[in-house]
Amino acid sequence: MTHPPTYSSVRQPVIARQGMVATSQPLAAQAGLFVLQEGGNAVDAAIATAAALTVVEPTSNGIGSDLFALVWHEGELHGLNASGRSPALLTRDALPDDPDGKKTMPTHGWLPVTVPGTPRGWADLHARFGRLPFARVMAPAIHYARTGFPLSPVLAQNWARGIRAHAARQGPEFAEWTRVFAPDGFTPRAGALWASEGHAQTLERLADSRAEAFYEGELAARIDAHAKGSGGLLRAEDLAAHTNEWVKPISTAYRDHRLHEIPPNGQGIAALIALGILDGLDLPDWRDDERGLHTQIEAMKLAFADAHRYVADPQHAPVPTEALLSSAYLAARRALIGESALDPAPGDPNAHGTVYLAAADRDGQMVSLIQSNYMGFGSGVVVPGTGIVLQNRGHNFSLEEGHPNALAPRKRPYHTIIPGFLTREDGTPVGPFGVMGGFMQPQGHLQVVLNTVRYGLNPQQALDAPRWQWVGGKTVEVEHDLGAAAARALLARGHDIRVNLDPNAFGRGQIIWRDPVTGVLTGGSESRADGLVAAY
């Protein structure tokens, strides 16, 4: 029999029936709820929330982000890949050399900038599923940008961290960031007010043009001019060529449920591989049993080894998705798990900045949406007068020649952001969920699904439960709530266990589950963040 958890949830789950929005910033959640109450559906609410998040949580996302979404609509799950491609001018020759003469990709500045997919992602979602006028859905975000809003506590901490990091960056491409996000007299603390008229005007142009101004209009021209004037490679032609892609979600079964993810170039397949490996193993009934934790960690390491080897832009390199999720392959990977820690030696995962939201309406439509600059404020490049922070997704390209994810012009990089969706094996929807945080994301998906399906935790408990994170080699970070006994037992199995006291390192999640009979919605919001489940 499964044992209940020994730790307490910080919050109680929120239960409602008419509609629900869960995200990491309370004002953004309220924007989505407002749109639901105005007669909008879950997609309208998701777009309103996502647009508001670019204003009220710029430490993790912005207008210049990428976006992925899963939409449950009329009995079917739809996937949208709104990630952008590298500039046509970006080649290995454009990269600087490190002290050993090897090419290196900077984390900030123009070189890691790829075409943002988020603005057109909002428009594509609305065109296919939206109910209210697009301008009406964008109105709350415009209001927050123009009139200002008070910073929440975790947001203020991350903003201050961003200012400290940005202080070391020099060059004309970084000047506008300081003017917008660290103006004279502004100190990021809880309750401090911040506004951006440039951001408001940009959102208005997006609302009026259904995002076309970003790719072929005035905004595209301003991005092009700033790049040309400060050493960037992004051009108007790159923006004009951008398209998003509707994709068929991929999935794997665990017990009587099924986890759904966006296919590569995203890393959701890592969560599916790990869950598929565990589906053939008998985990202990106690959630924090060291044998079960060890098995989960080993499955996740094997999954990451495959993801880092094969995930790439499928338009440039074939990704063996079906083979990686086949029962025979999963069985072979499962057989590698023993009593001691393995070292499959892929890259060194670590956490970064992302926002996630889940939305559901009274009619059964549900949305799992995630968007991100990648590393906090992204590249640190802000287009003058617009509030547009450009992402630094290009940092995730491989510089290994011949690798499927190798840097190339007009190519989508390996992507860390992944929305999740859970159904029962018979196809009945359970609901949307996600866990933000770079390479923590598939690890968070795995732990949330196990917490829910294997251990019977409600959405809030599933998020509040202590987490672990594999960060490379045999090193695993754990939260202190996991307990000393479990940590010592994992050490004895060969894991290099490190206690990390920073809650930001373990991701920030949101969950909405829907009762298939009554339609009642139950939501949880990350206690490690400022988040809120807004419902009515």
Beta strand 193-194 pairing with 353-361: unpaired
Catalytic residue among 354, 423, 452, 522: 354
Q: How many CB atoms lie within 10 A of CB 394?
A: 26
At 261, phi and psi to the nearest 5? -140, 165
The pair of structure tokens assigned to 238 is 């790159």
What's at 6, amino acid-wise?
T
Q: How far apart are CA 135 and CA 146, in angstroms?
A: 15
Paired with 378 in beta bridges are none
Q: How far apart are CA 264 and CA 321, in angstroms?
A: 8
Q: How far apart are CA 472 and CA 148, in angstroms?
A: 41
Paired with 194 in beta bridges are 149
The pair of structure tokens assigned to 207 is 């609302």
Q: How far apart are CA 322 and CA 459, in angstroms?
A: 30
- Residue 134: CB partners within 8 Å, gap ≥ 6? 47, 123, 126, 207, 210
Q: Name the residue among 92, 400, 365, 55 with its Cα closest to residue 203.
A: 55
Residue written as token pair 């589950």: 513
Q: How far apart are CA 15 and CA 440, in angstroms?
A: 28
Known catalytic residue at 354? yes
Cβ atoms 272, 251 nearer than 8 A: yes
Q: How far apart are CA 321 and CA 314, in angstroms?
A: 10
What's at 425, amino acid-wise?
E
Q: Name the residue among 28, 5, 22, 77 with its Cα closest to residue 521.
A: 22
The pair of structure tokens assigned to 103 is 């090419």
At 509, phi and psi to the nearest 5? -115, 165
Q: How far apart are CA 319 and CA 307, in angstroms?
A: 10
- Residue 187: CB partners within 8 Å, gap ≥ 6? none
What angle, rounded to 10 degrees, do the helices at 26-37 and 42-56 form?
Answer: 150
Q: 503: which DSSP letter?
A: G
Rg of the chain in Å (alpha carbons): 22
Cβ atoms 289, 297 nearer than 8 A: no
Q: Name the residue among 530, 131, 121 with its Cα closest to residue 362.
A: 131
Residue numbers annotated as active site: 354
